[in-house]
Amino acid sequence: MSNFKKKTINGVLWNLTERLGNQVIRFSLGIILARLLLPSDYGIIALTTVVIAFSEIMIDGGLMMILIQRSNNTDQEYSTVFWSKLFSALLIFLLIFFSAKYIAQFYEVPILEKVLRLIALVLIINSLSSVHKIRLTNKLDFKGQAKIILLSTLIGGATGIIMALLGFGVWALVFQTLTINLIQAILFWCYTKWVPSINYSFEFIKSIYKNGLNFLSANILLILYNNLYITVIGKMYNPTTLGLYTRARQFEQLPENTTNSVIVKVLFPILTGNKNDKMALKKNTLEVLSWLSFIITPIMLLLIINSKQIIEFFLTEKWLGAKDFLVILAVAGIFIPINNTLLNIFNVLGKPLISTKIYIFKILFSALLIFVVWKDGAIWTASIIIIENIIVLFILGLITKNLIGLKIKTIIESIRFVFLVNGISFLIVYYISNYLTFIELSNLLHMIITFVSYCVLTYLLGSFFKLPQISELNNQLKKRL
């Protein structure tokens, strides 16, 4: 194996370690903090994330992706991007600082003004280290990045927990965010030992301007869609309801984000290798969809079965209002990885414009339905995500039929027995769950019993229906025994 290949594989492994490790650490810290803070505290922070996420996209302007794509960046080009981002961050920070009052009035949350003005400092802090991070990425040094990100997350998390224990409320979350990003910036500067030169190139900015706009427009759509429900729930209802929604979303997104990481880092290169062979691409896509459904469906159905127990055990009774949101998001979570895989096909085939159009449809369709149902309450508003993802699945099936001959009927056939096995297991374990609730078993025992029961039933039913995934697991076990 060549040195470059070893370095690439090692880089991918460390990148996955950083992504998954960071998710697990943040998830664990979130649980601890949620037990100490109120749902309204998380709702206020969720409102700031909408503003911050959109601002970061505007500051980036697609420049980071361009630096990643170019393998021969000069020191002048890195420095040019550094100063461009820092200048943009300062401008947008000032814009947020002076408009914070009006944003707080829009959401009718007075404290949001002070919170937003302080947490917006993260934009400047991040701009000081983003180019350092890209330099490490271009060198395939994911190990260094992983260590820095995981260490800073732990330090920032500890800061947040201490402040929450001292009764600082929402400010504990603000300073946790600022600490994580400040520690990251300091460590990236120390680790890379790179100092930007005062050597700005207007010619370089002009040469990448158009490509940067393409990346920017795609990222804006993604940010708009990802924050659509947060914006609506925050505006139409109150911070407490939004806090309950975001906590439920965290439980659902842990397995969802993990599968997305696998799609991007592992499955995307596999599919790309067959992009010129439509039959092979179709076959591999069906294989991917089958395995994804086999993995993600039981996780989401177990979240539904144990929604009350999970919220009560991890977050305490004050968060029980998140239970219904968790059920809704878990149902949608069955379809989201499937849709993401099909969307990925368009990138494989070099047709990203189709993905852009799909996101535009998702935003407009969801906004229309939200306008119709928002008066019926937050639960109905959140439920739109289920309808949206089912409809998008059928639309994607129509498009893939024309591109690679992959019909929606074929997609359903590839996962029907996975759904059948999980459907039967769900009904039986749901009945068991109701009995366990009736006899008032502890939340921990309830979750353990339902988990074991579900796994056993899925294995037995999968063997009966001869699921290829069960056969593969059996073969792997035999090889290792």
Q: How far apart are CA 211 and CA 263, in angstroms?
A: 25
User: The tokens of 335 are what?
Assistant: 């379809």
pLDDT interval class at 229 (50, 70, 90): very high
CA dist., res. 9 & res. 378, Å (int): 45
Secondary structure string (H, E, C) spanning the chain: CCHHHHHHHHHHHHHHHHHHHHHHHHHHHHHHHHHHCCHHHHHHHHHHHHHHHHHHHHHHCCHHHHHHHCCCCCHHHHHHHHHHHHHHHHHHHHHHHHHHHHHHHHHCCCCHHHHHHHHCHHHHHHHCCHHHHHHHHHCCCHHHHHHHHHHHHHHHHHHHHHHHHCCCCHHHHHHHHHHHHHHHHHHHHHHHCCCCCCCCCHHHHHHHHHHHHHHHHHHHHHHHHHCHHHHHHHHHCCHHHHHHHHHHHHHHHHHHHHHHHHHHHHHHHHHHCCCCCHHHHHHHHHHHHHHHHHHHHHHHHHHHHCHHHHHHHHHCHHHHHHHHHHHHHHHHHHHHHHHHHHHHHHHHCCCHHHHHHHHHHHHHHHHHHHHHHHHHCHHHHHHHHHHHHHHHHHHHHHHHHHHHCCCHHHHHHHHHHHHHHHHHHHHHHHHHHHHHHHCCCCHHHHHHHHHHHHHHHHHHHHHHCCCHHHHHHHHHHHHHC
CB 418 within 8 A of CB 293: yes
Average pLDDT, rounded, for the chain = 86
Q: How much is the pLDDT for 1?
A: 47
pLDDT over 70 (residue 269): no
Which residues are CB-neighbours of 168 under 8 A, at least 6 positions away? 175
pLDDT class for 99, splitting at 50, 70, 90? very high
The first and second tokens of residue 265, run together, are 């880092």
AA identity, residue 460: L
Q: Is the pLDDT of residue 406 over 70?
A: yes
| Of 62 and 123, the one with more pLDDT | 123
Share of the chain above pLDDT 70, in %: 89
Q: Taking the model in full, what pTM does it have? A: 0.86
Taking 60 as the threshold, does the pLDDT of residue 167 lie above it? Answer: yes
Average pLDDT over residues 288-298: 88
Per residue in 419-469, pLDDT tens?
999 999 999 999 999 988 888 889 999 999 999 999 999 999 999 998 988
Q: What is the mean pLDDT of residues 41-69?
A: 85
Q: How confident is the model at residue 4 (pLDDT cuts 50, 70, 90)?
A: very low
Q: How confident is the model at residue 60 (pLDDT cuts 50, 70, 90)?
A: confident
